[in-house]
Amino acid sequence: MTTDAAKPAGAHARVAVVGSLNMDLVARAPRLPNPGETLAGSAFAQVAGGKGGNQAVAAARLGAQVAMIGCVGADANGEILRAGLLAEGIDCGALETAPHAPTGVALIVVDDASQNAIVIVAGSNGEVTPDTLARHEAVLAQADVVVCQLETPTDAVAAALAAARRLGKITILNPAPATGPLPAQWLALVDYLVPNELEAAALTGLPASTPQDAARAALALREAGARNVLVTLGAQGVCALLDGDAPAHLPAPRVSAVDTTAAGDTFIGGLAARLAAGEPALEAIAFALRAASISVTRAGAQPSIPTLAEVPR
C-alpha cells in the first residue's frame, strides 16, 4: 500500500490523469427544464471540459507537473482540446487520436441558482482501452499520483488502477458518474476514493446529503475495502474518512456561487497536486476545498479553475 511522504525541496510533484476530454456546450437558463419542456436560455458558451481534462488542468494550475492519458477525435474539437492542454504545460504524449470516433461532448444547462444538468456523449473517450494504458505505462511510472474517473470504459479504469498500484503510486478514483457499487476488487487499488453526495449514495445505497449521512456512507465504503474516503458535499464541504481515523467534517469557505460545473474537478486536481507534493492528507484536502470554493465564483469549467497563486495558503 502506498504511503504519503514529504518530497525533498525542489522535487517535482508529478500527476498522471487517465480520463475523459469533452467539448462542453453550456447554456444558461432561469431554471433546469422539465421533461418535454423548451426553455429560453440567456447565454451560450463552448469551453473545454471533461472530468479528465478538467482535473488535469486543475492539477497543473495548482502546482503539479501533469501528463494526460486519453483520446480525442480527429476533428476540430479534438485539436482545440489538445492545444488547450498544451497551453497549460500538460504533457500530451499519451493523448491519442481516434480516427473514427468524434471528440466527446457534454451538453450542460446551468440555472440561476448555479445548479446544473449534464448529458455526456462519450465519443472518443470510449476508445480508451487497457491497451492504451499498456502503451503508456511509462507515463504512469513517472507519476507520484494517478487520477481516474468513470467517463472512460471501466476496463481501462481497472487497468490504470492496477498498473498504478503495481508501480507503487498514490491512486485517486473519482467515481463519476456512478450508478451503483464499484467492482469489489477495485477498492483495494484505490488510496483515495472521492465521490460526491449523489455518487456516495449510488455506491452504498445510503443517503449522503448531510455530513452525518456522508460519514455513514464513508464508513460503509471503508468496510467494503476503501482506504481513504472523501465525500464532497458542495457548499457543506467534505466528509473525510482517513485511514484508521474517525470521520471528520471539513467545512467549505463561504462564497457566492456563480457556476458549480468544475468544482469537484478542481477539488480532485488540487488534492492530487498537493498529495504529489508530499503534503499530509488533511492539509491537501483543506487546500483542495479552498481551490474549489474559488472555482464556483466563476463561470465555465476549465476557465473557472484557479492558479496556485490565487489559493490562500
pLDDT at 8 over 80: no
Which residue bears the cell 463552448? 46
Q: What is the pLDDT of residue 99?
A: 95
Q: From CA 79, how far away is CA 97, in angstroms rounded?
A: 10
Q: Which pLDDT belongs to residue 313? A: 83
pLDDT tens, residue by residue, 85-125: 999 999 999 999 999 999 999 898 989 987 888 888 999 99
Angle value at C-alpha 12, between 8 and 16, nearest 5 degrees: 130
Listed in order, strand segments (DSSP E) in the chain are 14-18, 22-28, 43-49, 65-73, 91-98, 104-110, 116-121, 145-148, 170-173, 192-193, 228-232, 238-241, 248-250
Joined grid coordinates for residue 27: 447554456
pLDDT band at 1 (very low <50, low <70, confident <90, very high): very low
Cβ atoms of 281 and 306 within 8 Å: the answer is no
Q: Which of 24, 91, 191, 265 is catalytic?
A: 265
- pTM for this predicted structure: 0.91
pLDDT score for 113:
87
Q: Would the pLDDT of 304 be above 80?
A: yes
Distance between CA atoms of residues 172 and 35, nearest Å: 35
Average pLDDT, the chain: 93
What proportion of the chain, given as a percentage, has pLDDT over 90? 84
Query: pLDDT digits over 266-281, tens only?
Result: 999 999 999 999 999 9
The C-alpha atoms of residue 92 and residue 168 are separated, in whole angstroms, by 23
Q: What is the pLDDT of residue 9?
A: 40
Would you give the distance in Å from CA 45 to the centre of its chain?
21
Q: What is the pLDDT of residue 10?
A: 42
Q: Which helix (H) or strand (E) holds 251?
A: none
The stretch 191-211 carries a mean pLDDT of 97
CATH superfamily label, 14-21+50-103+124-305: Ribokinase (3.40.1190.20)
Domain ranges of the chain: 14-21+50-103+124-305
Q: Mean of the pLDDT values across residues 166-195?
A: 95
Check if 265 is active-site. yes
